[in-house]
Structure 1
Amino acid sequence: MKRKITLLIGACIFTVIALATIQGYFIYNTYKLYEREINTSIKKQIARLEDTEEWEKINDTWSIHSKKYAKEYAKGDITKPTFTKYLSIKRDSLSKAMKTYMKKMAQPEDYDIDYSIYLNSITVIKGGKKNNLFDGKMLILANDTLKKNKILSSMGRWETKDSNDELILVVKSNRYYSFDELQQIIISKMAGLLLFSVLLMAFVVFLYYMSLKNLISQKRIADIKTDFVNNITHEFQTPLATMDIAIKTLQRKDKQMSPEHYNNTLAMVARQNERLQKLFRQVTEASVAPIANKDSIQVTSEEIKDMIDDFKLYKPDITIELTSQKEAFIISMDRFHLNTILINLLDNAVKYGANKIVTDLKITAGNFILSVKDNGKGIPVKEQASIFDKFYRVEKGNIHNSKGLGLGLFYIKQLVQTYGGTINVESEENKGSLFTITIPV
């Protein structure tokens, strides 16, 4: 069963990872699709901006002057730095004109983009001889300060020929746009999909968690029930077998039995009958919630000592120390329930290896506090949350080392809660246990 649960957990984890991977793949493709759609819309927006006479006028401002400088450069009248200086001076005015133009041409559905043109090279060819007027990357104009994610819009190349001077001019430039809100817009469009994906994954994980939790819980309950059936079967075997022998003995003729033998046999039947009744009573008490009797009773240390002495008659090898305040105290509790709690705690300590028990009773801050400390084998930390469950026993399936039905601590907790109290346990393996019961006076 454990192997099946392990395999099921592994399958659930694999399924969740696979589902998350598939969702991630579709979300990524959706993101890329939105990105392509927005970039396509922006390129159409740029194409519309570049298809007007006003745009041609702005663009011609630097291109016409570039032709003029190229001719002068071919004649040797200017140098390369002079041309570069000219472009730097004209950049601000061109950018300002471009910014004004884009605001005027803006439409409601347009994206708020930054636009720029960079000059890459100007090559002057004269008489078959090439000479570079400019080679590099220089900003010609920009409507705003460009953001980091510059995207190439188009690559330009135009060539002019002056037949008089046999001069050929080749100009190469790139046009860029920048849109910093691209990711934000895509994510806002995908918000519904992302939210649904997260909720779906959370729901699937929650379903797997609840299914596994219920499966493990059902397995635990099934194990406890199996242990209970095994233990109660074992508990019934001894008295029934003993009574069977005693009945067969009594079936003999009276003359074949001495009076002492006859009386001993009857006493044996009575003891085993009482034991069976006690076993049935334990099961019945665990099935019916106890009823609190809150009549005030006076309890003395001598009365508690008598309860302990009665218990020691059956366990003469156990050392039990009692510490209690000398004066009598009054509590609102049924005397029988108090005796049941104390004896069950003592019996539980003995069952699990204790040969020395220290019991303490006191009234503190309006609470009646009963503590039972033993030197038994202790309770593992992982078991401590379950020891008060019905039919639960620390030694699962072991019906020989410590007899019982797993009902003692369960019934104690029911009694304590009936009187509005609490029960706590502190324990370490091989270091004994300390049970503390607190009940309001």
Structure 2
Amino acid sequence: MNKGIGTTLLFLSCFLVLIALQSYYVYNSYLLEEKELNKQVKIIADDVVKQLEKYETDASEDSLILSLKKLSSNQLFMNQKLDERKQWFTFKNFYEKEVDSILDKKTASTNFKIALRSEIYSVYDENRKLELLSKKHPLILFKTKAPVSVGFVFSEGKWNSNFTERDTELKVDAHYHYIIRSRISVELINLSALVFKKILPLSLVSLAIIALLTYLFWRTTKNLKLQQSKLAQLYTSIDSISHELSTPIATLKFSLAGMPASDNKQLFERQIQRLEKVACAVKNPEVDSELIDEAAIKAYIDQTLKRFNGVGIDFDFAFKANTQLSKHDFEQLLNNLIENAVKYRANHIDVKLDFSSQINIQVADNGIGIPKDAQAYIFDKYYRVSRLENLQITGLGLGLHIVKQTVDKYLGSIDVSTNATNGVTFNINLPHA
């Protein structure tokens, strides 16, 4: 269950990273398309402005200067609404009428909807050190019918206007100096729609990838849960069979005890012991037993050497004290590790037993070994390594599980490592109570 949760969290983390990367990629594509479209719009706007500029005359500037003079000297004139003044540039009305027409011709072969505006946004009176224009009311030179709301400035200008006015009737003899700043703004009104149209295929592909991965993860998770359910049912069935075997085994043992000695009786005893061993391996019941001592260890070594006389087993044995490990659990540990090594084609086994400040048991063999990617799972109940060699070897996948349970019972530790040549080494450390 914990592994499943971990896998799900890992997938979700990677999935969120993928979504973030896809979003970043799509967003950057949006910005690139936006930049490219604005570049094209700027070229069109430049052409329109150049075409309009040919209508400008010297009289236009004279008209502007005259208006600036009035703006500077007449407070009432300053407060009038700027859009009501008809004196700005003599070509202003022409621009107002023609700018949309010119833009329509320039954008005929495109889907662009462009808004354009030219304005004077600052008139600074150098003599009085006074800004004459309000920021909210620039002087509009020309604009399209469609307003510019969030466009960008692609052209700015700045010039000085100096003139002297003498008027005997008004008794005026004054010199005027203005610093005038202008700008031309442009906006592609349907920019978002055009960009979205450009990146729509990319967005659809990204969404399809995300949807496919989500579906595959859902299917995989569903199949894994189904497999886990089937495995749980299988393990429950095996445990139930083992439990059901207990009664007939006990009955057979009781019946066999009353039979006279014979070859058949010995055969039955061996088969019953075999069944009992399998049933006990599945159930792994708690068994009360005395502590293992030095004499019992020596007896076990002699018995093991006779039992596996075709295998080279070297024991390195040192005993000082044992205050915790029972004889049954000691034999359970050694039997499973040695039987496992022999089963997986080991012909030489080194066993080191050290009962000192703590109990250390080391079993190293030269068998076919355990793949590194499977070593994290070998202590799971019923787990067997998936490889061709294992198909030819019988077993329930319980031996190392029992070893791990026994080590955990004593709050010890066990680890497995691959040998330099062949086989594996198991190291068990058990603390004294």
TM-score normalised by length of structure 2 = 0.48
TM-score (norm 1): 0.47
